[in-house]
Every structure is written in C-alpha cells, then in structure tokens.
Amino acid sequence: MSNDQPGSPSRLSLTIDGEDVELEDTGDTLLGALRDQLGLTGVKDGCSPQGQCGCCTVLVDGQPRVACVTPLRRARGRSITTIDGLDASRSERWGRAFCDSGGSQCGFCTPGIVVRLDALHAKQVEADADLADHGPVENALLAHLCRCTGWQTVLDAWDRFGGLSNGAADPNRELGAATQRAEIEGGATQTVSPEVALGRGGFAADTAPNDALKAVASGDAWVVGETLADARAAAGKVQGRRTTVDHSWPIDAPEGEWAATLRTTWVEPAYLETDAAWCAPGGEPTSPLENGGAFGAKRSSDVGDVARRLADEHGRPVLVLSSREDTVRRGPKRPPLAGVANADGTGVIRVAATPGVAEAIATVAPGLTVEEVAVVGPPTSIDLRAAGWAEALVLLAGARGETGTITSPSGATASADVRIDDDGEITLAVNVSCGVVLDEIVLRSYCIGAAHMAWSWLTSEALTVDDDGEIHDLTVRSFGVLRAVDTPHIEITIDHDASGEPVNGSDAVFAAVAAAGWLAADCRPDWPIGGIITP
C-alpha cells in the first residue's frame, strides 16, 4: 500500500483476531503494534526484543511466533491470532484448565503458553496423536520460560484441557480461599481465577491509559516518548547479551577443617514481568506488585516513584517500564556467600553485606557466625525468597549429612527426598505442613514452583559479574533457569491435618529441596553444581 502523502509512515493491512485492520508501519515490531496501536495487552512483553521468553507468542497464519522479534511489516497481509482471538469456548476451557491445575500463578507467561498449546493441541488431534504423551508438549514449551509454576502444573493443565486428568474439577472450590493462599505464598497481591491465565490479571503495564507517555531508563536518567519504541530509540536501547565468560564466586570460604563448605555466586531472580508502574499527574502510582511480587524481588523497585515524578513533570500520565537488561542491572540479587559448618551447628558464613542478612541467618542458625563483607557487584536484598536463611539451613544439612525437616521462619516445615531410578530419572518427593491449607491446588502449585526454583538454583543458575561489578549476562536465556524438559518430576504431599493460622509453606519447600539436592550431589561446594550424577 502506498503512503497517504509524501513523508508519512506507510500503512499496511493485516487481519488481527478475525478483524481486518490498517496500521502505521513506524518500524516497530508486531508486539509493539499490538500493544501500543491496538491496546491488545493480552500479548505480554517479558524480554523484548530478545525473543526468548515466549510471553508475546501469537499465531501468524496459524503458526506460533514470538511477536517481539517479528517486524510489523513482515505481518503485512497475514492473519494474526492473539490470546484474545482464540475460539471463545477453547479459551474458556484453557482458562479453567490452568486455574484448576495451578498452572498459572501471576499469569504473565501463560497467555503465550496457552496460544502455543492451543495450536499444538489442534495439530495433535488432527494427526490422531496420543495426547497423553508429554514429549511434544515439553518440546513446545522450550520456546517459553515460566518462573512460578515449575512446569509440571502446566503439563497438568494440558491433561485437564484434553480430558486426560483424573477426576473432575471441584465445583465448590472457593476461589477466595485460593486467593488468600496465593497471597500468603507469593507475598503480594494475587488473584486466582481462569481469567488470570488468559492474561487478564491486571498488570501495571496493561492498565495504563492509552495516552500515557512511556519512560525507559538510560543509565541513571529516564527518557520519555509517546510510544515505547520512541522511548527506547531515544534511550539508545540495544538487545541484551549473553557472555562467553564463566561465572565466578565472589567470596572465599573460611579456611580450616569443616564438615561442609558451601559457596554461592550471583543469581538473577528472573521474573518474567519486568518492573512497571504508571501514574497520573498528582495521583498515586500503581504498584509493580499488582499481580504477584516476583517472590520478593520487586519490593524495592523505584518505578512507582519515578512514574509519579515524571507524570507531574510532563502533566500527563506516564508509564515507566524497565527493559529486561535494566531489570537485571538494577534489580536486587540474593547475597552471594561462602559458608562452612560442622555437624554440631557451629560454623562461619561470609556473606555480601546486606541489611538484615545476619538477622535472617541467626533466626534459623544461631550457631553460625556471620561475617558481612563488601562485595563489588549489583544490589542485594534479603527480600528475595528465603535469602540467607535457606543457605544457612542447607549448609547445616550438609554438615549433618541429612536433610531432616526444615523449619522456616514462618513456622512451616518441609522435608524432601531425591529419588533416582535405574534409568537415571529423578523424582523430588516433598512433604509440607503450613497451617490450614485453604486451597490444595494453589498450595501444591506454589510448592512445585519452589521445588523447581530450588533445583534450578542448585544445578544451573548463575550470572557473570566482572571485577568492576558489571553484569555480563543480560538475556533471559543466560540466567540458567531450568526448562520443562530438564525439570525432575515433583511429588508434593500436603499435611491436611495441620492446624493453626495458614503460613507460607513454599519457602520451606525451597530450602528443603535445595538441601536434599545438595546432599544427593555429595555436597559439592560450589553452586551451581551442574547437575546430579545419575547411574
């Protein structure tokens, strides 16, 4: 199609969710056009423009594609289907399946997953394939990342959608109680409903007014534009990178003869929804914790304060969005540490100086002497899941030579066992007790997610940080988060006889699985250990 007038952007025609539309070709991506020009916020931006997280997956002429690396001009004349354009009855079934299986927690990654799985399901049915075979599903999920659910509940959702799960959904399930349990486990505002899995959880970036300016970071400053593409261009944003340099351990362990030694390195919280908040002039900003708090990683985020200041300066609503690389650079990390201990519970932990870390360790391991040391690197925080105290309990378990029962500061208890069969297949068997259950589906989901996170932390997660404190791993695939095909089977047994106030249980599971996995790996001291050696 020719330009309307000399110098004006070209316009192109395409079909989106069954409707013929014309869009300006401003050089933006398909993702940018869908969100900024059409307001289709079901398509999420988790890593743009890296094309690595799968949150922006749409169907292009029926085939799954990541929209953030698809130039809009390449969609000319094509048929695009977003999460909101799926067949209504199938979409509703997917939402129920994910809700009923716990396959969605914050709901940021699941719209893209649902789009891909819907296309796969239709293909498998047409080919009369065995829907109970999870191999094709796990391969399809290679294009996606999920930090919350541990993948297994996503496979459960596939089974439930296809009628393969055992038992029907509980028609009397109380979603209010489910939401209460989710907020206890996630430590932030949360909603449990089928709509969340379909991308309608109310994320800050999705609720900003259409006329909101967009702001992105440029070093220590913030650059504002009419569109996200404009702001990124003005800020000189480039795609993040993955280094070829190996990670290192920033703290040396104390010398001497000890029963166990543990060293951890820098790791990235790796939440999929990057920090976002918007504010109107003179108003109160939305919170980056609108529907899930990244297990503590966003509690110190400053995007709300920035949105308020910029809105007042410009006299218009402003949406502040962190890019993936800015989230990595600016966001807090677990304090890296090096610890030694004996079986009697005595020992020393040297840890990156972090407010509250010594107190967190002393709460669960009073026999450990804590030495805070200055470490050049990104900011650290004990707000992250079980930071400090989980490492202390893992170290003590290694020194004793047994996992035992982990008791978290909340009072929850958990134990874990690593089972390896003759074929080398690993199963993580977990028991948890955390007060009144409230909702078994949500609690199981969070515990499976915690087990996956712990296993991933133990075996594969690391960031390369140089001597000047600069992070060199800036893509979501460089963090080492385990994929569905790499995740062991996880069995969760919940204590239904537990009484008392409901408390967080998944953090105890996180520590218990990390300890059990470390013992199964003969307590190799330097994390990530690279995996369990199987027969």
501 and 369, same domain (yes or no): yes
Co-location of 344 and 441 in the same domain: yes
Q: Is residue 512 part of a domain?
A: yes
Q: How many residues does the chain have?
A: 535
Q: Dig out the tokens for 336 from the structure.
A: 């890296």
Beta-strand (E) ranges in 390-512?
406-407, 413-420, 426-433, 489-494
Q: Which of 192, 202, 215 is nearest to 439 (CA)?
A: 192
Which range marks the domain in which residue 165 is found?
88-202
Encoded amino acid at 171, one letter: P
Q: Are residues 375 and 508 in the same domain?
A: yes
> 3-class SS at 123?
helix
Question: Concatenated DSSP letters for 154-204?
Answer: HHHHHHHHTT-SSS---TT--HHHHHHHHHHHHSS----SHHHHTT-S--H
What is residue 171's predicted lDDT score, i.e. its pLDDT? 84
101, 118, 169, 311, 503 from 160: Cα distances, Å: 8, 13, 9, 45, 29
Last residue of a domain, one of 42, 65, 85: 85
pLDDT score at 7: 42
Q: Which residues contact 256 (CB under 8 A, 6 or more apart)?
A: 340
Q: Does residue 525 lie within any of the structural domains?
A: no
Distances (CA, A) of 431 to 181, 406, 467: 17, 10, 41
Residue 2 covered by a domain: no
Digits of tens for pLDDT over the chain (535 positions)?
A: 334 444 456 889 999 999 999 998 888 899 999 999 999 999 999 998 899 999 999 999 999 999 999 999 999 999 999 999 999 999 999 999 999 999 999 999 999 999 999 999 999 999 999 999 999 999 999 999 999 999 999 999 999 999 998 777 788 899 999 999 999 999 988 899 999 999 999 999 999 998 999 999 998 899 999 988 889 888 887 666 777 889 999 999 999 999 999 999 999 999 999 999 999 999 999 999 887 778 999 999 999 999 999 999 999 999 999 999 999 999 999 999 999 999 999 999 999 999 999 999 999 999 999 999 999 999 999 999 999 999 999 999 999 999 999 999 999 999 999 999 999 999 999 999 999 999 999 999 999 999 999 999 999 999 999 999 999 999 999 999 999 999 999 999 999 998 899 999 999 999 999 999 999 999 999 999 998 877 6
The torsion angles phi and psi of 119, rounded to 5 degrees, stand at: -65, -40
Tally of domains in the chain = 4
Residues 110 and 143 in one domain: yes
Question: Cα–chain-centroid distance for residue 47?
Answer: 12
- Give the domain CATH number at 126: 1.10.150.120
267 is written with which tokens? 């790791």
Q: 81 forms bridges with which residues in the sheet? A: 59
Dist CA 363 CA 345 (whole Å): 13
Examine the fold and report which residue of 178, 202, 226 is the final residue of a domain before the chain moves on.
202
Pairing outcome for strands 63-66 and 260-263: unpaired
* pLDDT tens-place string over residues 424-437: 999 999 999 999 99
For residues 389 and 484, membership in a common domain is answered with: yes
Q: Report in angstroms the alpha-carbon separations of 363 from 410, 502, 503.
A: 11, 20, 17
Residue 251 CA: distances (Å) to CA of 122, 152, 335, 491:
52, 35, 10, 35
CA distances from 139 to 121, 134, 238 (A): 13, 9, 29
Is residue 528 situated within a structural domain?
no
Residue partners of 138: CB distance under 8 A and separation at least 6: 151, 155, 484, 485
| E-only strand ranges, 449-505 | 489-494
For residues 222 and 196, membership in a common domain is answered with no
Based on the fold, state whether residues 475 and 445 are members of the same structural domain.
yes
Q: Residue 9: what pLDDT?
A: 61
Task: Say whether both 38 and 101 belong to one domain.
Answer: no
The answer to the question of residue 263 being in a domain is: no
CA distance 395 to 293: 27
Residues 434 and 349 in one domain: yes
Identify the pLDDT of residue 4.
44
What are the start-end ranges of the E strands in 7-156? 10-16, 19-25, 57-60, 63-66, 79-81
Q: What is the predicted pLDDT for the residue at 233?
A: 87
Q: Is 248 part of any domain? A: no
Place of tokens 């969070």: 446
Residue 245 inside a domain? The answer is no
Distance from C-alpha of 427 to C-alpha of 70, rounded to nearest angstrom? 39
CB count within 10 Å of CB 17 equals 18
Whether 267 is in a domain gets the answer no
Write the single-letter amino acid at 403: T
Burial readout 197-207 (b: 16 or more C-beta within 10 A, e: otherwise): bbbbbebbbbe
Residues 449 and 466 in one domain: yes
371 and 355 within one domain: yes
| Burial status of residue 333 (CB atoms within 10 A of its CB: 0-12, 13-18, 19 or more) | buried
Same domain for 496 and 365: yes
Over residues 386-395, the pLDDT tens digits come to: 999 999 999 9
Q: Among 85, 112, 138, where does a domain finish?
A: 85
* Contact in structure between 272 and 55 (CB atoms under 8 Å): yes
